Amino acid sequence: MNKIKVGIIGAGGYGGCGAIELLLGHPQAEIRALIDKQDVGKPISELYPHLKGFCDMTILDPSDPNRPDDFDVVFFATPDGVGQKEARSWLDKGVKVIDYSGDFRFNDALTYKGYAARIGKSQDHASPDLLPRSSYGLAELHRRDIARSDLVGNPGCFAVSCILGLAPALKAGLIEPESIICDAKTGVSGAGKTPSPTFHYPARYDAMNAYKVSGHQHVYEIERECSLVASREIRVTFTPHVIPLCRGILSTIYGRLRSGENARSAEEAYRSFYKEERFVRVFGPGKVLTTTDVRGSNFCNLSVNVDERTGRLVVISMIDNLVKGQAGSAVQNMNILFGIEETSGLLRPGQYP
Amino acid sequence: MNKIKVGIIGAGGYGGCGAIELLLGHPQAEIRALIDKQDVGKPISELYPHLKGFCDMTILDPSDPNRPDDFDVVFFATPDGVGQKEARSWLDKGVKVIDYSGDFRFNDALTYKGYAARIGKSQDHASPDLLPRSSYGLAELHRRDIARSDLVGNPGCFAVSCILGLAPALKAGLIEPESIICDAKTGVSGAGKTPSPTFHYPARYDAMNAYKVSGHQHVYEIERECSLVASREIRVTFTPHVIPLCRGILSTIYGRLRSGENARSAEEAYRSFYKEERFVRVFGPGKVLTTTDVRGSNFCNLSVNVDERTGRLVVISMIDNLVKGQAGSAVQNMNILFGIEETSGLLRPGQYP
Amino acid sequence: MNKIKVGIIGAGGYGGCGAIELLLGHPQAEIRALIDKQDVGKPISELYPHLKGFCDMTILDPSDPNRPDDFDVVFFATPDGVGQKEARSWLDKGVKVIDYSGDFRFNDALTYKGYAARIGKSQDHASPDLLPRSSYGLAELHRRDIARSDLVGNPGCFAVSCILGLAPALKAGLIEPESIICDAKTGVSGAGKTPSPTFHYPARYDAMNAYKVSGHQHVYEIERECSLVASREIRVTFTPHVIPLCRGILSTIYGRLRSGENARSAEEAYRSFYKEERFVRVFGPGKVLTTTDVRGSNFCNLSVNVDERTGRLVVISMIDNLVKGQAGSAVQNMNILFGIEETSGLLRPGQYP
Amino acid sequence: MNKIKVGIIGAGGYGGCGAIELLLGHPQAEIRALIDKQDVGKPISELYPHLKGFCDMTILDPSDPNRPDDFDVVFFATPDGVGQKEARSWLDKGVKVIDYSGDFRFNDALTYKGYAARIGKSQDHASPDLLPRSSYGLAELHRRDIARSDLVGNPGCFAVSCILGLAPALKAGLIEPESIICDAKTGVSGAGKTPSPTFHYPARYDAMNAYKVSGHQHVYEIERECSLVASREIRVTFTPHVIPLCRGILSTIYGRLRSGENARSAEEAYRSFYKEERFVRVFGPGKVLTTTDVRGSNFCNLSVNVDERTGRLVVISMIDNLVKGQAGSAVQNMNILFGIEETSGLLRPGQYP
């Protein structure tokens, strides 16, 4: 088989870099072009010197008439608002699209509008007719949809950790659906490459904070997916925190156990739900899991606990926000889109310490 | 007035060092002796070179017959199990005692036993008769008891952040008492000075984890204090996490709002509860608070939020675990014990960045 | 005596914040106004929340006609180029001036021009006539000049560490003057408060680099001071590095020992040179010194070593770049300018860990 | 060809883990056994959970009679003193040996004794007759020797950075041989996995220090290799520093330029020396290089600068201490020992940020 030809739009950000790193080691894909509005004309290895000798392709302007466009798939490793304007032209040429942002995570314009309001965007979706066509790129729950689709909305990093941590409980009816709280902690790389006062080293190295308390945009995806799994409308309380480390999301998820459920049934529900999944590892109580266990890899580690005294399920869900929470899921979705082995290019353990 | 003469037992640990730093700047107290079983004979400034020229006192052996014992108060900056054996001899001499550990946080031996079991100690309390005599050293809730006492159990660092974050809500009846969840994140200094694999720099610099899920010993203090304030038995779910920073605890506290309560009534309840408190600052929603705001100082910052969509109160409570969570509270308690200005020696803003 | 009335221009930066922290604890000085072009109208405690309740003064615009100007001294905690334009108007009113930047570190316009070229400024000095009037604010070497002056050029942070580390060796003729190499490592706070790609947390947390190899502007001060002490023209090789920590400069200084000199004579020369100095501590070989020993304090720690095998003096010089390297030296200079105890407000040990 | 069968002794340390990570991705090698005195009976993925599913082999006791010994090569990822006792038994069976420690870096017992004294070992080498048989595992300088050998002393991490940074200058006669100073900064992972007070997170996160000033054991290798290249006896001043980051060594190397040499000739000498080398990248002045450029990869990046004002060559040499400074060099040496492509299994760019 010919290699899958990939174009990366927004190649200069952390999300683009993550895709490049993974695709360089992917046996069935090749990067055909790196596209970005910034740093046009520079080799990518000038921005990311660790790539020197591995990928020295020049960054091309999106509007450059000479840039290649014979892609099988494009990654929009771009912020909200770009993909919804530009995806159509690629789809029309038969190129599949994987978008990192929230642009294609929802199937209707109204839900999108609620999402967009939370990130300060008041405009309507630029391509509402594409929304029903998109699939939600969380492979563990939607791989059949993804396989039939040509437009994937890659999930939000927090959402990946929370949804994977909640789905088995909701599927098995372990918990009261109105009792869900997700307390999420993320490393700083999730905020991307652009400097800002709050991620300036001296301001961040010894500082943690909550932000967007009860107001983070990822809550919509989490609720939509939870509602789908539980077959009823679910709302969750979601609080994100920023922590002074680079890579890693740890979400601590709470729900009140339904009567009759216990630690054993909970662990069994999780093990059963994920028994075929290569990228989700389930652990029972008693084992301390750390975000470094998944750093640099596409895995989600889940620790399933029950607080007997208060009758609550407590699930700790961990991912690398730049891999399973972003570029890794994108590659996993690409593999599904093209019908190749879903784990291709993704079976890497990361590096320690 | 003569200065309060202080002896510090366990002077060589972080908790001892913190007391020294505060007492050096205290206008009405003086350090009379530094006592520890380790590093006997060394000047404290060899262990903590930043103290050189400020405090060069030699560490004395607890059993050294020549060491001074003309103290007005001793700080047991020691692990669980020491104070309960040694406090009596000081009390008998009329010396007041402030113990950092859990040894004197409970007034009855049975509750203590539950606490002790959680930290792997199966023995009964060594001085159960002293327990009713002790006061719980959280000044904001118990300053009258402390003032009447001569034996203070300094509160646990997590407990300080959670109790201060919960008391107003329970007092005002804002939340359903059975709905409380405390998700706490601590910096590494809370674990003390002794190296261990999990706090080795390469293992920790980019790693976060939950631990003792539903099983941390501080839950007893939190529940006892919550129950007292609410005048009913309360159980909470409590999950501690370790985060790669040095100083700071951030506890995110969740409770279901009672009907009729809202963001305004919640903020008002907190402002009212703490309106006379110098060391607690209340903030409404919308302001991002960071642990560095309280780093190096004796303050607790509280952000009071309501998630309207799910009807939950979300309080973010922040302290410096080594100050308000340990040595600062100890000094505050000392001030109360001796009837001097409660803030004496404690009005320092910390340092930034 | 009335308190010294201080105005701080550039109050919103780290250098301004450092001055505020020190002056709040200074028994003989008071802050009269905080002035900055940015964040005008905001309380300083909104920028630096740890100051809340300690200093809530509003930031005033430099050109605000209603702002106080009855200062005894102004601190220009501003970047290069500001003080040289604005100092005169204050001096003319009899207000003394301490400038943090390079604007008044040199006594002649030509040397300044060389300095300015290194920081990318091609313009001539705006007030060359003020240059001969200025004193170089390194108290340990120039306190008599400072005392007679009303305009102080506060030294560069790297320069403080290198000059204090070299002066005794040059004074005593320990080393060959043409053999000097200064290898300096700084924490990130030295770069100030403005975010940039190179100090973005994810780019910096696990990264070190040299920069301006052989081209850093502080080399001029170092050479001028070395030449003065040695009474001959000296050139040094100086390489700065940025290290992922917040506070601290460690400069490793190398020079070839003159024949007849050895470890004993070297240590003796340093001890003798600094025997009256409160803020310089000299240590012999064998003791490992760490930047945390001086973090948060106005001290410079020096470790004096000789490599017998190669006949070189190796001096390790450590300061907190924001204290002895900036605001602490400024306060020390203020004390000298006003004839009060030089250590006033500065005898603080810092905090650990 | 059959895969090279590798046994790793000391598998549980960082050096063992690094070898496992590399060998898992090596197309021509396979791990046959993991051996360690500690953690016997545990799966390696219990110690290093990121390996779960990739390498779950059980750690075997060195003296376990049932452990496999049909290796082609063993890695002694062990501290000084182990390999010199145990290597012979493997060599006698025809198994090649690569030792990470200083045990086989020297060809004579006397030089070894000097080295050993610096690390506090007073005993003679246990197998002095093996010393002449060993090769020094710095492939860029000794690949022919290594290819002919069956016993490789892997170089010290500091030594790799300094020797690669000095060899071209000495070969080309750019600098005065007696003028060499190496100022080296290392991340904490170089100290290994065992916790200690100085690498405890709270003591290290914001701290840097020099240590073993003029007394580090790696100076012997550096001097030996420099002397070989320069064909004359050379002594260097070497100062190591520990820096609060995990991976990376940056060595700043100074030497006085010989008359007639300049920036152009220096850069040319370096480019020429390394023009065939895959793992050394040479950069001219003006480009800021960062340790993250080589983090996680087997590269050494060199920045070649000349300080025109003082006539000194200033070379910045950067490696990942755990890869090119340890396990990566070991794998590179293995490739040479078995006559396969030297870069096999090593062409990985690392990960960023």
Distance from the B261 Cα atom to the nearest Cα atom in chain D, whole angstroms: 42
Distance from the C117 Cα atom to the nearest Cα atom in chain B, whole angstroms: 30
- Whether residue C348 lies inside any domain: the answer is no
A199 — phi, psi (to 5°)?
-115, 15
D131 torsion bin: left (phi>0), alpha (psi -120 to 50), beta (else): alpha
The ipTM of this complex is: 0.97
What's the confidence (pLDDT) of residue B301? 98
Chain C residue numbers touching B24 (CB-CB < 8 A): 349
Report the alpha-carbon distance of residue B8 to residue B4 in Å, rounded: 13
- Whether residue D343 lies inside any domain: the answer is no
Q: Is residue D329 domain-shared with residue D296, that is, in the same domain? A: no
D241 has a pLDDT exceeding 90: yes
- Whether residue B350 lies inside any domain: the answer is no
Cis status, amide bond into D27, omega within 30 of 0: no
Residue pLDDT, tens place only, B91-144: 999 999 999 999 999 999 999 999 999 999 999 999 999 999 999 999 999 999
Choose among D86, D93, D105, D113: nearest CA to D333.
D105
Choose among C77, C81, C64, C86: nearest CA to C31.
C77
Task: Identify the band that residue D200 occupies on the pLDDT scale cut at 50, 70 and 90.
Answer: very high
Q: Is residue D42 domain-shared with residue D83, that is, in the same domain? A: yes
Residue D351 is given by DSSP the state: -
- Whether residue D353 lies inside any domain: the answer is no
Instruction: Say if the Cβ atoms of A21 and D351 lie within 8 Å.
Output: yes
Distance from the A114 Cα atom to the nearest Cα atom in chain D, whole angstroms: 32
Instruction: Say if the Cβ atoms of D54 and A352 lie within 8 Å.
Output: no
CATH number at residue C93: 3.40.50.720
What's the confidence (pLDDT) of residue D287? 87
What's the confidence (pLDDT) of residue D82? 98
Closest residue, chain D, to A290 (C-alpha): D49
Report the alpha-carbon distance of residue C240 to residue D121 in Å, rounded: 36
Which of A187, A195, A204 faces C196 most closely, judged by CB atoms? A195
Distance from the C73 Cα atom to the nearest Cα atom in chain D, whole angstroms: 34
Chain C residue numbers touching B193 (CB-CB < 8 A): 353
What is the enclosing helix (H) or strand (E) of B157? helix B157-171
Residue pLDDT, tens place only, D68-113: 999 999 999 999 999 999 999 999 999 999 999 999 999 999 999 9
D294 has a pLDDT exceeding 80: yes
Contacting D residues, span 218-257, partner chain C, CB-CB under 8 Å? 235-237, 239, 241, 243-248, 250, 252, 254
Instruction: Say if the Cβ atoms of A241 and B252 lie within 8 Å.
Output: yes
Q: Is residue D14 domain-shared with residue D138, that is, in the same domain? A: yes
C77 touches chain B (CB under 8 A): no
Q: Is residue C239 domain-shared with residue C137, that is, in the same domain? A: no
Q: Is residue C269 domain-shared with residue C329, that is, in the same domain? A: no
Q: Is residue C104 domain-shared with residue C172, that is, in the same domain? A: no
C39 touches chain A (CB under 8 A): no
* All chains having 3 or more CB pairs closer than 8 angstroms to chain D: A, B, C
Choose among A136, A145, A140: nearest CA to A115.
A136
C245 torsion bin: left (phi>0), alpha (psi -120 to 50), beta (else): beta
Contacts of residue C309, defined as CB under 8 A and 6 or more positions apart, other chains included, come to D214, D235, D237
Q: What is the pTM of this model?
A: 0.97
- Provide the CA C226 distance to its chain's centre, in angstroms: 16
- Whether residue B67 lies inside any domain: the answer is yes
pLDDT along chain A (353 residues), means of 10: 94 98 98 98 98 98 93 98 98 98 96 94 95 98 98 98 98 97 98 97 98 92 97 97 98 98 98 98 93 98 97 98 98 98 97 97
A85 touches chain D (CB under 8 A): no
- Whether residue C349 lies inside any domain: the answer is no
What's the confidence (pLDDT) of residue C312? 98
- Whether residue A271 lies inside any domain: the answer is yes
D11 touches chain B (CB under 8 A): no
Q: Is residue D120 domain-shared with residue D139, that is, in the same domain? A: yes
Q: Are D319 and D160 in contact (CB under 8 A)?
A: yes
Count of domains for chain D: 2
3-state secondary structure of B253: strand
* All chains having 3 or more CB pairs closer than 8 angstroms to chain C: A, B, D
C96 touches chain A (CB under 8 A): no
D33 torsion bin: left (phi>0), alpha (psi -120 to 50), beta (else): beta
Closest residue, chain A, to D45 (C-alpha): A293
CATH number at residue B316: 3.30.360.10
DSSP string for residues in C202-241: HHHTT--EE-STTT-TTHHHHHHHHHHHHTS----EEEEE
Instruction: Say if the Cβ atoms of D292 and C207 lie within 8 Å.
Output: yes
Q: Is residue C89 domain-shared with residue C149, that is, in the same domain? A: yes
Q: Which of the residues C55, C157, C226, C300 is marked catalytic?
A: C157
3-state secondary structure of A80: coil
Instruction: Say if the Cβ atoms of A181 and B181 lie within 8 Å.
Output: yes
Task: Identify the band that residue D280 occupies on the pLDDT scale cut at 50, 70 and 90.
Answer: very high
B47 touches chain D (CB under 8 A): no
Q: Is residue A125 domain-shared with residue A175, that is, in the same domain? A: no
Active site residue A246: no
Chain C residue numbers touching A246 (CB-CB < 8 A): 201-202, 205-206
Q: Is residue D316 domain-shared with residue D328, that is, in the same domain? A: no
Report the alpha-carbon distance of residue D35 to residue D41 in Å, rounded: 10
- Provide the CA A31 distance to its chain's centre, in angstroms: 21
Task: Identify the band that residue C206 occupies on the pLDDT scale cut at 50, 70 and 90.
Answer: very high
Report the alpha-carbon distance of residue C201 to residue D128 in Å, rounded: 49
- Written as tens digits, the pLDDT of chain B (353 aa) is 699 999 999 999 999 999 999 999 999 999 999 999 999 999 999 999 999 999 999 999 999 999 999 999 999 999 999 999 999 999 999 999 999 999 999 999 999 999 999 999 999 999 999 999 999 999 999 999 999 999 999 999 999 999 999 999 999 999 999 999 999 999 999 999 999 999 999 999 999 999 999 889 999 999 999 999 999 999 999 999 999 999 999 999 999 999 999 999 999 999 999 999 999 999 999 889 999 999 999 999 999 999 999 999 999 999 999 999 999 999 999 999 999 999 999 999 999 99
Instruction: Say if the Cβ atoms of C237 and D303 lie within 8 Å.
Output: no
Report the alpha-carbon distance of residue A281 to residue A324 in Å, rounded: 13
For D182, other C-beta atoms within 10 Å of its C-beta total 29
Contacts of residue A14, defined as CB under 8 A and 6 or more positions apart, other chains included, come to A189, A192, A193, A322, A326, C202, D353
Domain that includes residue C10, residue range: 4-155+324-337
- Whether residue C168 lies inside any domain: the answer is yes
Q: Is residue A119 domain-shared with residue A162, that is, in the same domain? A: no
Give the residues across from D305 on adjacent strands. Answer: D314
Mean pLDDT of C203-223: 95
What's the confidence (pLDDT) of residue D286? 84
Report the alpha-carbon distance of residue D137 to residue D116 in Å, rounded: 19
Chain A residue numbers touching B161 (CB-CB < 8 A): none
3-state secondary structure of A317: strand
For residue B352, give both structure tokens.
């930034």
Q: Are C296 and B50 in contact (CB under 8 A)?
A: yes
Residue pLDDT, tens place only, B166-215: 999 999 999 999 999 999 999 999 999 999 999 999 999 999 999 999 88
- The number of helices, as runs of H, and strands, as runs of E, in chain A is 10, 14
Choose among A315, A339, A310, A260: nearest CA to A73.
A339
What's the confidence (pLDDT) of residue D345? 98
Instruction: Say if the Cβ atoms of D202 and B193 lie within 8 Å.
Output: yes
Q: Is residue B200 domain-shared with residue B130, that is, in the same domain? A: no
Q: Are D162 and D253 in contact (CB under 8 A)?
A: yes
D279 has a pLDDT exceeding 80: yes
DSSP string for residues in A272-307: HHTTT-SSEEEE-TTPPP-GGGTTTSS-EEEEEEEE
Helix B157-171 crosses helix B219-230 at what angle (to 10 degrees)?
A: 20
Closest residue, chain D, to B243 (C-alpha): D201
